[in-house]
């Protein structure tokens, strides 16, 4: 079928995965906002209610991603379009999910202890919960994508496909690059990028969209006062990097960003 089928598959996958993510986020936030109070007993009740739904949604994201990539690769390279079969870890971050979804409550308690009013503290907790849920759905996508493409074969490279009408500079520039299937797609909190296999087994080269990279360079250069028609000053390979995050895994970041590690925590 070629390009027409691949476009239809991509559009359908984007619609399904976006709907799934939005529905689970709406459910989680509604459950949090409906608690009425946010004491320890409320956090236990919240986790009991939402965790089964969240974990099921992550598995569904994995299954939808696997089905999409299997169909895409089959159309590009031939062979069966049957799903490869993926299993998304419940502990996506290497941390028990119950611990992760208790963190918004810790955020609220911390804010209150620092003098923030109740409304502000709960607002901070809600923002953290939103970030956690979004990020976990994206981690489920990327984990499933790596499993699916590695197990099937037929594609050695992929690109990051941006979704929506607004995308950050990190994702825009990253979308101009090709990535190897063996590498888990680096993300960042709030990232909605989708993996899209590239046809063939020949390396297309590091930059696969020179014009978009140039446009991104020109837009950023207007803010930092540098310009280069070749799109290489500043060199974004030196500005935008992949760092290893203790829970997320590969994480897109600006070079000046750093994360707290074990050595930064003072001894008891």
CB 139 within 8 A of CB 93: yes
Three-class secondary structure of residue 187 per DSSP: strand
CB 108 within 8 A of CB 38: yes
Sheet of 194-197: strand order equals 178-180, 157-161, 194-197
Backbone angles phi, psi at 124, to 5 degrees: -65, -40
| pLDDT computed for residue 230 by the predictor | 42
For residue 73, give both structure tokens.
Answer: 């690769």
What distance, in Å, lies between the first and last C-alpha atoms of the chain?
63
Read off the pTM.
0.75
The token duo for 134 is 């979004």
What is the Rg, in whole angstroms, of the alpha carbon atoms belonging to the chain?
20
**Domains of the chain by residue range:** 1-154, 155-260
- Whether the link from the prior residue into 202 is cis, omega within 30° of 0, is no
Between the alpha carbon of residue 162 and those of residues 32, 174, 187, 244, 252, the distances in Å are 29, 9, 12, 22, 14
The three-class DSSP label of residue 246 is coil
Cross-strand pairs, 160: 195
d(CA 69, CA 66): 5
Q: d(Cα 106, Cα 125) in Å, to the nearest integer?
A: 8
What value, to the nearest 5°, has the Cα angle with vertex 102 and ends 97 and 108?
Answer: 155
Quick: pLDDT tens for 7-19.
899 999 999 999 9
E strand or H helix at 234, and its extent? none
Confirm if 175 and 160 have CB atoms less than 8 A apart: yes
pLDDT by residue for the chain (268 residues), tens only, comes to 578 888 899 999 999 999 999 999 999 999 999 998 999 999 999 999 999 999 999 999 999 999 999 998 888 877 777 887 888 988 888 889 999 999 999 999 999 999 999 999 999 999 999 999 998 998 899 889 888 888 877 777 888 787 765 566 667 777 777 877 776 665 556 677 888 888 777 777 777 777 777 776 666 666 555 544 344 444 444 444 444 445 545 544 454 444 444 444 444 4
What is the DSSP secondary structure assignment for residue 102, as one 8-state letter? T
Nearest CA to 61 out of 127, 157, 135 is that of 135
- pLDDT of 236 reads 47
């Amino acid at each position: 079928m070629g390009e027409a089928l691949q476009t239809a598959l991509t559009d359908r996958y984007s619609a399904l995965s976006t709907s799934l993510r939005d529905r689970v986020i709406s459910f989680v936030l509604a459950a949090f906002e409906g608690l009425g109070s946010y004491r320890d007993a409320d956090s236990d009740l919240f986790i009991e209610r939402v965790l089964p739904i969240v974990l099921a949604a992550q598995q569904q994201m994995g299954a939808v991603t696997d089905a999409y990539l299997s169909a895409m690769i089959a159309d590009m390279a031939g062979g069966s379009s049957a799903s490869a079969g993926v299993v998304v870890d419940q502990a996506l971050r290497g941390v028990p999910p119950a611990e992760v979804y208790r963190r918004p409550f810790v955020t609220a308690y911390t804010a209150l202890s620092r003098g923030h009013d109740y409304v502000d503290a709960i607002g901070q907790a809600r923002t953290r919960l939103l970030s956690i849920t979004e990020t976990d759905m994206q981690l489920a996508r990327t984990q499933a994508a790596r499993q699916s493409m590695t197990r099937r074969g037929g594609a050695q490279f992929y690109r990051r496909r941006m979704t929506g009408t607004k995308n950050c500079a990190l994702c825009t520039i990253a979308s101009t690059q090709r990535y190897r299937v063996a590498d888990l797609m680096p993300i960042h909190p709030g990232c909605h990028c989708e993996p899209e296999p590239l046809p063939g087994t020949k390396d297309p080269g590091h930059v696969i969209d020179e014009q978009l990279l140039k446009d991104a360079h020109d837009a950023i250069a207007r803010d930092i006062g540098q310009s280069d028609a070749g799109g290489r000053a500043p060199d974004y390979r030196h500005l935008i990097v992949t760092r290893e995050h203790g829970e997320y895994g590969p994480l897109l970041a600006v070079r000046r960003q750093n994360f707290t590690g074990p050595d930064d925590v003072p001894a008891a």
